Every structure is written in C-alpha cells, then in structure tokens.
C-alpha cells in the first residue's frame, strides 16, 4: 500500500513541477514581450523627430504651418533642397567640416593611443597619480577653459584658422585615453611578453599587436570624435571669422537667423543633409562601436 501511494504521488509531483515550469515560462515570455514593447516605444519616440524633419524638408510653407499637421507632403517640394543649396554654400561649409573632422580624428587616434598604451602597459614611477590627474581634467567643461584658450591662440596668431580646432587633439583627450586604457588592459599581457622575448620594442608591440587587437576601441574613438567635430558650434564660432572658413553648424545657424520661419522647409532640408553623414557613419561602425563600449568598461 505504501509503495502504491508513493508511485501515485510521483505523477502528481511531476505534474506540479511541470505546472510551475509552465507558469515560469509564461511569466518570462510576458516579461520579454513587455520589455520589447517598451524598447519599441522608446525607439519610436527617438525616431519621430527624424521622420518629421525629413517630411518637413519636403513640404511647402503652407503645409508646414497647417493645422492639424500632416505627415506626408502633398505635393513633394523637392525644390527646398535645390533652393537651400543656392542659398547656402553647403559644399564649401561641408568641405571645411570634413577637413576639421578628419584632422581631429587623426590626432585623436595617434595621440590617445600612445598615451593610453603608456598608462596601461608601461611601468613608470607616478603613473597612477598622473592618470588620476588626467581623469580629473574631464571635470572641467569647455566653457571654463575657452577664454584662456582663446587668449593663448590669439597671442600665437591661430585665430581665424582651423588650427585651434584640430591641433589640440594631437595632444590627447582624457576621455579617449581612459577608454583606450581600459580596452588595452583587457588584452592578455602574454602577447606583449612574447613579442619582447622576440626582441620587439614598445612601438613595435603597440603597432603590430595592440593596435590590430584594438580595432573596436579605435573605431569607437574615431566615431566619438567625428560626432563631436561634425556638430561642434561653439569652437568654430569662437575661432572662425571669415565666412569662407565656416563649418556646417555655423552656416545653418546663420541661415536660421536670416530666414527665420519664412523658409522653414529649406532649413529642414539643410538639417537633413547635415544629419545623413552622421547616420551613415554610425550604421557603418555600429558593430565595432557596441563592441568597443562593451569591452572597455564604460557601459552603463
């Protein structure tokens, strides 16, 4: 009788375990659905302004100020783009912006890579103390240092040129140094030790071993610097006086102040053309960007 009762209790126990597993699986699926639903809502909230900018760039003025607002242009005012290019020397401003961005990226990659390697792979007295001071410099916003920097650059005759917007990046940036140092620390030291045994010096180890293994972090630094230089407004406003040397951000600000809301479609057309290169750069570097952030110790 006891054996029969024990046998009969096993199916009920198995059924209870199966029921709990099913309930847990149902809760897990419900949580996953809610999480994805929340992410979709957040993505939609971020995507709506971009869609509105593009559609507005293709609307006529009467449709832009119409109420209730309409999403789809009718008809499509493609002339907003051609009129905007006639109104603003977009390609000249674009070339200036590209030149500043490329030089800034080159300076950031060269200087920050060397400095970060020195902080992560080379032992020298006071290294950690100096690194703390480097990190402390991140607490100083640009608004605090822009007046002393402007005085220095004006004394050496660099104002009204691209030098103040590019040369400083050849001397390192605290955030990029921190990011690359964290990534370099994750690379096994066995690679460096083996190269030293083969007679390689520090520069050879950096160039032939560390740099190829650090492609995600380097692309992350390049993308960050590209975004910072591409959208920078305060720096060019301080140092660039001649209109021929203006960047896209200065050109757009001047266009907004001169046109106001009378040609809002053209302003949105220029804004769209400015944003598109940023989106293309992020989409091309997205995989490396996420990997560089996830493996450098600065993820949220």
Q: How far, in Å, CA of 31 to CA of 25, rounded?
A: 10
Q: Is the full-model pTM beyond 0.85?
A: no
Q: What is the pLDDT of residue 294?
A: 62
Q: What is the pLDDT of residue 226?
A: 94
State the pLDDT at residue 300: 42
- For residue 148, what pLDDT band results from cuts at 50, 70 and 90? very high
Q: How would DSSP label each residue in 13-67?
A: HHHHHHHHHHHHHHHHHHHHHHHHHHHHHHHHHHHHHHHHHHHHTTS-HHHHS-S
pLDDT digits (tens, 9 = 90+) for 48-104: 888 888 888 888 877 877 788 777 888 888 888 888 888 888 899 999 999 999 999
For 167-199, write each residue's pLDDT tens digit.
Answer: 999 998 999 999 999 889 888 888 888 888 888
Map residue 164 onto helix, strand or coil: helix
* pLDDT > 60? residue 299: no
With both helix axes pointing from N to C terminus, report the angle between 127-136 and 90-121 in degrees, rounded to the nearest 10: 150
pLDDT greater than 80 at residue 240? yes
- The confidence score (pLDDT) of residue 93 equals 93
Q: Is 90 in a helix, a strand, or coil?
A: helix
**CA gyration radius, the chain:** 28
Query: How much is the average pLDDT of 118-135?
Result: 90
pLDDT at 292: 63
- The mean per-residue pLDDT over the stretch 5-13 comes to 52
Using the structure block, give the residue that is written with the tokens 């809002």: 264
- Residue 11 pLDDT > 60: no
Rounded CA-CA distance 23/29 in Å is: 10
Phi-psi sector, 260: left (phi>0), alpha (psi -120 to 50), beta:
left
What is the CB-side half-sphere exposure of residue 87 using CA atoms within 13 A? 20
Confidence of residue 7 (pLDDT cuts 50, 70, 90): very low
- Per-residue confidence (pLDDT) for residue 255, from 0 to 100: 83
């Amino acid at each position: 009788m006891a054996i029969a009762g024990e046998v009969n209790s096993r199916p009920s126990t198995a059924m209870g375990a199966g029921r709990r597993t099913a309930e847990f699986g149902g809760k897990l699926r419900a949580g996953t659905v809610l999480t994805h639903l929340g992410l979709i809502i957040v993505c939609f909230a971020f995507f709506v302004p971009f869609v509105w900018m593009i559609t507005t760039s293709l609307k006529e003025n009467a449709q832009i100020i119409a109420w209730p607002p309409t999403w789809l242009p009718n008809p499509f005012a493609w002339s907003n783009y051609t009129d905007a290019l006639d109104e603003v020397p977009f390609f000249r401003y674009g070339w200036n912006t590209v030149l500043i961005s490329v030089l800034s990226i080159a300076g950031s990659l060269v200087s920050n890579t060397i400095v970060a390697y020195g902080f992560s792979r080379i032992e020298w007295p006071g290294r950690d103390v100096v690194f703390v001071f480097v990190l402390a410099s991140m607490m100083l916003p640009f608004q605090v240092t822009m007046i002393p920097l402007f005085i220095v650059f004006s004394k050496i005759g660099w104002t009204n040129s691209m030098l103040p917007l590019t040369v400083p990046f050849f001397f390192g940036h605290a955030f990029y140094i921190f990011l690359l140092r964290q990534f370099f620390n994750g690379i096994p030291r066995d690679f460096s030790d083996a190269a030293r045994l083969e007679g390689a010096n520090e520069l050879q180890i950096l160039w032939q071993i560390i740099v190829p293994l650090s492609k995600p972090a380097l692309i992350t630094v390049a993308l960050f610097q590209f975004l910072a230089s591409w959208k920078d407004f305060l720096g060019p406003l301080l140092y660039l006086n001649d209109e021929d040397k203006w960047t896209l951000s200065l050109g757009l600000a001047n266009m907004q102040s001169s046109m106001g809301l009378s040609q809002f479609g053209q302003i949105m057309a220029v804004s769209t053309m400015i944003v598109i290169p940023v989106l293309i750069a992020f989409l091309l570097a997205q995989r490396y960007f996420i990997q560089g952030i996830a493996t450098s110790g600065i993820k949220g």
